[in-house]
Homo-oligomer: A and B are copies of this chain.
């Protein structure tokens, strides 16, 4: 049977065809009126996509580059910062804070779990210059309580900044960036924006801009104040990744269409879509007797614990070999123990039902226990019918 290559990885994610063609056909130089118009349109639209009235900047780098920008722009060597970590990407905050000479207080939760707000409250103090956290920890599929964390940080006034890596969180999680008082929120192109990797972006609060007046960590390529100054003139400080900007413009138009011409509504529709894909997938996995790995699962991805005695790498391999579908293994210490199915961006009903059907075959082939074909699919259909048509239209009812 024909097998189409399909990504179910938490980034890169499936590409929007309109973004691919926009990328291939854009040829304008970056110091022309054509690019300037695209650039200004994209930056304005990105505010609606991020859900902020603050300036949004877009740089040529991966998400890690923008995480570095947060650390190098908002801290000085010796600064006390609080890092909240419960997975591989939390650990990246620690690495970055140390690389730039900060003095990080690291609050860890076990992989798959999230933080106690009381533990956080006990550690936030005016001398903590910044708190770094993920909205969703892609390595474990856990969702962190950004609203609750922001509330604690804001109780301390303007002394402590809150920096949120929402690289897989934006477009999959309802985030009230300005309302909660998030100071820097970070995203990447290869996630809910349905386009290739190569761009990262951030929304920056006035509190954070003010902080940059006094911070002394070295920065040049990632100097956000310089970028902001250039953006006000409709350009970038250094050569932008023009073709990816064109893809971004096309993706934002598509998301605007999801909101019937309103981009902010389109973003909410995209989040709801991820949530429905995730709920269907969780129901499907449970129907097969599988355990979800994350205690508070994110809609960005579903991390599923491999059945006892079965290496999750074999599951990943079987998905690829039988269906050319790419799901993700665990990372670091979770490798071999979990597999991860993403719902970020460009996924629909057929994708979701299809991957659950495939999961049934994969388990039937690899696991010791008997699999009832259709069980995961049916459970997902029941979720779909309930949420889309109301309870009375349950399948078979």
* B-binding residues in A (CB < 8 A): 5, 7, 9, 11-12, 14-15, 20-21, 23-32, 60-65, 67-68, 71-72, 95-96, 99-101, 188, 190, 196-198, 217-223, 237-244, 320, 326, 328
- How long is the Cα–Cα vector from A373 to B67 in the complex, in angstroms? 56
Complex Cα–Cα for A101 and B216 (A) = 11
Whether B7 contacts A238 by the Cβ 8 Å rule is no
- The reply to whether A239 and B190 form a contact with Cβ atoms under 8 Å apart is yes
> Could you show 23 A-B contacts with beta carbons less than 8 Å apart?
A9-B29, A9-B31, A12-B239, A15-B27, A21-B24, A29-B326, A31-B328, A32-B326, A60-B198, A62-B238, A62-B240, A62-B241, A64-B220, A64-B221, A64-B238, A64-B239, A71-B220, A99-B220, A196-B241, A196-B242, A197-B240, A198-B244, A221-B222
Question: Which B residues are CB-close (under 8 A) to A26?
Answer: 196
In the complex formed, the residue of B with least CB distance to A66 is: B221
Q: Which residue of B lies closest to A331 (CB)?
A: B31
> Closest chain B residue to A9 by CB distance?
B29
Q: Are A188 and B9 in contact (CB under 8 A)?
A: no
How long is the Cα–Cα vector from A67 to B99 in the complex, in angstroms? 19
Task: Determine how many copies of this chain the complex contains.
Answer: 2
The answer to whether A65 and B61 touch (CB under 8 A), given A198-B198, A243-B23, is: yes
What is the minimal beta-carbon distance from A259 to any residue of chain B, in angstroms? 26
Tell whether, in the assembled complex, residue B220 and residue A217 are in contact, meaning their CB atoms are under 8 Å apart. no
A198 engages B243 (CB within 8 Å): yes
A340 vs B316: C-alpha distance in the bound complex, in angstroms? 53
B28 touches A221 (CB 8 A): no
Verify A95–B14 contact, CB threshold 8 A: no
* Contact call A239/B21, Cβ cutoff below 8 A: no
When distances are taken between beta carbons in the complex, the residues of chain B under 8 Å from A217 are 218
The residue that A101 contacts in the complex, of B5, B60, B218, with Cβ under 8 A, is B218
A29 to B196, CA, bound (A): 10
In addition to A7-B29, A60-B62, 18 A-B residue pairs with Cβ atoms within 8 Å of each other are A23-B243, A29-B326, A60-B65, A60-B198, A63-B238, A64-B220, A64-B238, A65-B65, A65-B221, A67-B221, A96-B220, A99-B219, A101-B218, A188-B239, A197-B241, A198-B242, A218-B218, A221-B222
